Amino acid sequence: MKTILKLGWCSAVLGIALATTVLPTRSAAQDQDDPPGRVARLGYLQGSVSFQPAGESDWVGAVPNRPMTTGDQLWTDEGSRAEVQLGSAVIRMAPLTGFSFLDLDDSTVQIQLTSGAINVTVRRLGEDDDFEIDTPNQAFTITQPGHYRVEVSADGNNTAISVRAGEGESTGGGQSYDLHGGQRATLSGTDSLYADVEQLYAPDDFDTWSEGRDHRYDFSRSAQYLSHDVVGFDDLDDYGDWRDDSNYGHVWFPNRVDVGWAPYHAGHWDWISPWGWTWVDDFSWGYAPFHYGRWVSLGGRWGWVAGPVAVQAVYAPALVVFIGGGPGGFGGNVGWFALGPREVYVPSYHVSEAYVNRVNISSTTVNITTVTNVYHTTIINNTTNITNITYANRTVQGAVMVVPQHAFVSAQPVGKVAVTVSAQQIAAASLSGRVAVAPTRESVLGAKAATAGHVAAPPAAVASRQVVAKKTPPPPPVPFAKQQQALAAHPGQPLARSEVQTLRPANTAAARPMVKQAPPAKPATANVGHPANPPNAARPGQPAAPPNQPSRPGNPPAANERPAAAAPAQPSRAPASAPAPAQPSRPAMTQPDNRPEPNRPAATEPNRPAAAQPNNHPEPAHPEATRPEAARPEAKPPQPKPSEPAARPQTAPANARPEQRTPPPAAKPAPAPPKQQPKQLTPEQKKQEEEQKKKEEKSPGE
């Protein structure tokens, strides 16, 4: 795995270096309104997963392939999972997990984790990249590619971070702790941060599932044909094949589509700021081919041509040309078709010339001079109407999709509401890089807008939970309702960043009430093995957890998660005289190991000097798995029931209360000695015996 990570890192560096040689130098003045070139993809859903668009208060059903950006939130209900892909990284969510992006752009990934657990695989990390995971009591900064698991307790008081590979730093309360591969740290405290570090546990079902998903990427056949920054390319392997073409190079052909299918014909349109109208495809593989590259019709079959392998990919909301839309276009209908190879994409949102160059050169083979000409004749002239370009796919039979305007705006599946138009109508209609239709609330909520208020949402305590951030996130997104009037003035064109800024509250200091900035931190030393007693352990405002709290964050695990009773592999047993090893069972997340349980001092462990046992160790969540068997000579473990794992001894720990202890077995009475049988004497022996008796009878009278 380390080799794969290193190769991925080298490929990313090479791609960035090559991209720098062919693209113009970026300037802050040019790019102030440019959107990020990177977004996330909601790539995989299992069970009940809810989605809240940036700036909105409604939760709706999540839809696969929806692009995600700053401010978007996810909630996985009980028994559910989700996967979010970034190209250079992937984030997987366990059940009962609250997740959102505080910031996401070309160099920053800042995650807000309010509850539950996530597994994060970081494949590439540039020198200037920031990858931060903020939880209620700390901010974890990933500093090396690797595999990480971050868990937040049900009450939000503790964070557990497992580093299977890589390195990172946890910051909070004025302290910072370096974490390395092979370590698991339990971080407790808010005013001050304490870290208890131990060895990793064996992987559970969630870890195993995540690793299996990683293998799809690591061994993808499609990786050799395109940039590794293209999100979702590993989904292409099972749904199509690659062929070489003399004109276009490597071309991917989907092999599980209906006769007559054409690109951008199965899906719907959402409004996602700051890009505006964004295509969301229905096919499970339908992400990469609709936000990168170009489509071409070869021999009656549609094929996808990816951009250059060595150039860093830049996301686009939809690589199409619009027909009609707005007053007078197709009689109130909206149409579009896919861009072909070497054709220039004209964004409908505010961008610089450098951005137009990047988004086109990363997606197709095109001359910069051609891109510049298109930019000056459309965007500079403040019009996206296109009159002097011949598009190859415009005349391909079945390439153009047309739907009623109201269906377009309300995120309806376009295939069910398609309108038939003639070739003459298509040839006579005007072309544009922007569809002049203003969005509505349904456009923002997406295809499942009708589910608002009828889906699972995070509990109020989780939804209002504050997190600690090391890097200051940007202001929160402005709700659509505040933008709607300004958007109606320029239909189909998103607001520039400068315009959005005028809609924000004047008091920007209070703009992020859900985020607490971490104070400057000093390096601290973690407790290794048995935790020590931190200062202010019983300070007010941090309630203790009830005993026997489940070890997993959130509610009890769902059916597809590992049950709490199934303990990880047990470490090697220590002799009775040796100190007990690190606890093999997961500690109760709501009660840190180095916090005393209120009003209950822990008992001194037998067979061990009292000084070797901290007097503030809480009662473990799973008592039967917390001590080596050799340290419990007073009781023999009973035979396990058929439904119980044999590796889990059931005797109570030594620090349990007297009424919890298993009494020693009563001693069995000694067996009675066997009865002796009378001796069998010979006649000679009988005679001697009689003579002896006579002598004894005469002795008293003599």
> 497: pLDDT confidence band, cut at 50, 70 and 90?
confident
User: Highest mean pLDDT range out of 472-486, 587-601, 632-646?
Assistant: 472-486
Q: Check residue 433 and give its pLDDT.
A: 84
What pLDDT, on a 0 to 100 scale, did the predictor assign at position 681? 63
Q: How far apart are CA 595 and CA 616, in angstroms?
A: 6
The 8 Å CB, 24+ separation contacts for 535-542 are 535/192, 536/191, 536/192, 537/594, 537/595, 537/596, 537/616, 538/595, 538/596, 538/598, 539/191, 541/190, 542/157, 542/189, 542/190
Task: Report the chain's terminal Cα–Cα distance, integer Å.
Answer: 108
What lies within 8 Å, CB to CB, of 124 at 6+ separation is: 8, 9, 11, 12, 88, 89, 145, 228
Q: Is the pLDDT of residue 56 over 60?
A: yes
Q: What is the mean pLDDT of residues 468-488?
A: 95
The most confident of the ranges 27-41, 554-568, 570-584, 599-613 is 27-41
Evaluate whether 322 touches 408 at the Cβ level (below 8 Å): no
Give the residue with greater pLDDT, 278 vs 191: 278
Give the range among 34-38, 67-71, 218-222, 579-583 with minimum mean pLDDT: 579-583
Please give the Cα distance from 76 to 68 (Å, whole number).
16
Question: Exposed, middle or buried: residue 205 (CB in 10 Å: 0-12, 13-18, 19+)?
Answer: middle
Q: What is the mean pLDDT of residues 363-390?
A: 75
Asked if 371 and 360 count as a contact pair (C-beta separation under 8 A), the reply is yes
User: Region 157-161: what's the mean pLDDT?
Assistant: 97
Long-range contacts, stretch 404-410, CB < 8 angstroms, 24+ apart: 404/332, 404/333, 404/334, 405/325, 405/332, 405/333, 405/334, 405/437, 408/269, 408/325, 408/334, 408/435, 408/437, 409/269, 409/437, 409/438, 409/439, 409/440, 409/442, 409/443, 410/440, 410/442, 410/443, 410/449
**H or E stretch covering 441:** helix 441-445
User: pLDDT at position 530, please?
Assistant: 53
The mean-pLDDT minimum among 290-299, 536-545, 691-700 falls in 536-545
Cβ(323)–Cβ(402) under 8 Å?
Answer: yes
Sequence-distant (≥ 6) Cβ neighbours of residue 405 within 8 angstroms: 325, 332, 333, 334, 437
How far is Cα 478 from Cα 481, in angstroms, rounded to an integer?
A: 8
**Percent of the chain surpassing pLDDT 70:** 69
CA distance 162 to 94: 15
- Compute CA distances 406 → 436, 452, 590, whole Å: 13, 20, 50
Express each pLDDT in 626-643 by its tens digit.
333 333 434 444 444 433
**Alpha-carbon Rg for the chain in angstroms:** 35
Residues in the chain: 702
- Asked whether the predicted pLDDT for residue 499 surpasses 70, the reply is yes
Q: What is the pTM of this model?
A: 0.73
Tens digits of residue pLDDT in 390-409: 899 999 999 999 999 999 99
Phi/psi class of residue 217: alpha, beta or left (left: φ > 0; alpha: ψ in -120 to 50)? alpha
Q: What's the mean pLDDT in 85-95?
A: 96
How far is the C-alpha of 159 from the C-alpha of 139, rounded, in Å?
10
Going by their DSSP bridges, the two strands 183-188 and 301-305 should be labelled as unpaired
3-class SS shares of the chain: helix, strand, coil, % to 5: 20, 25, 55
| 3-state SS assignment for residue 248 | coil
Distances (CA, A) of 126 to 10, 17, 266, 354, 496: 10, 12, 36, 21, 28
Confidence of residue 434 (pLDDT cuts 50, 70, 90): confident
pLDDT at site 441 = 97
CB-based contact 352:30 (threshold 8 Å): yes
Extended beta strands in 485-584, E state: 515-517, 522-523, 527-528
**Residue from 314, 165, 304 nearest 231 by CA:** 314
pLDDT, one tens digit per residue, over 314-329 is 999 999 999 976 565 6
Higher pLDDT, 614 or 311: 311
Per-residue pLDDT, averaged over 76-97, amounts to 97
Share of the chain above pLDDT 90, in %: 59
- Per residue in 503-526, pLDDT tens? 887 765 456 778 999 999 999 999
659 versus 95: the higher-pLDDT residue is 95
Mean per-residue pLDDT for 607-616? 39
Q: Which amino acid is at 697?
A: E
Give burial (CB, 10 Å; 0-12/13-18/19+) of 689.
exposed
Structure-token pair, residue 597: 């349980």
pLDDT reported for residue 652: 40
Regarding predicted confidence, which is higher, 583 or 222?
Answer: 222
pLDDT tens, position by position, 247-279: 999 999 999 999 999 999 999 999 999 999 999
Q: What is the pLDDT of residue 376?
A: 78
pLDDT confidence of residue 701:
46
Distance CA 278, CA 681 (A): 114
Q: What is the mean pLDDT of residues 152-156?
A: 94
Indicate if the alpha-carbon torsion angle 59, 62, 65, 68 is positive or negative: positive
Residue 44, H or E segment: strand 40-46
User: For residue 511, what pLDDT is reported?
Assistant: 60
Cα atoms in the Cβ-side hemisphere of radius 13 Å centred on 527: 19
Q: Categorize the per-residue pLDDT at 34 as very low, low, confident or very high, splitting at 50, 70 and 90.
A: very high
**Rounded mean pLDDT, 20-47:** 71
- For residue 334, which of 443, 189, 244, 472 has the smallest C-alpha distance? 443
Rounded mean pLDDT of 321-338? 81
Average pLDDT value for residue range 361-377: 84
Q: Mean pLDDT for the chain?
A: 78
**pLDDT band, residue 39 (cuts 50/70/90):** very high
More confident residue, 243 or 620: 243
Q: What is the mean pLDDT of residues 61-88?
A: 97
pLDDT confidence of residue 485: 94
Does residue 306 contact residue 225 with C-beta atoms inside 8 Å? yes
C-alpha to C-alpha distance for 250 and 303, rounded to whole angstroms: 10
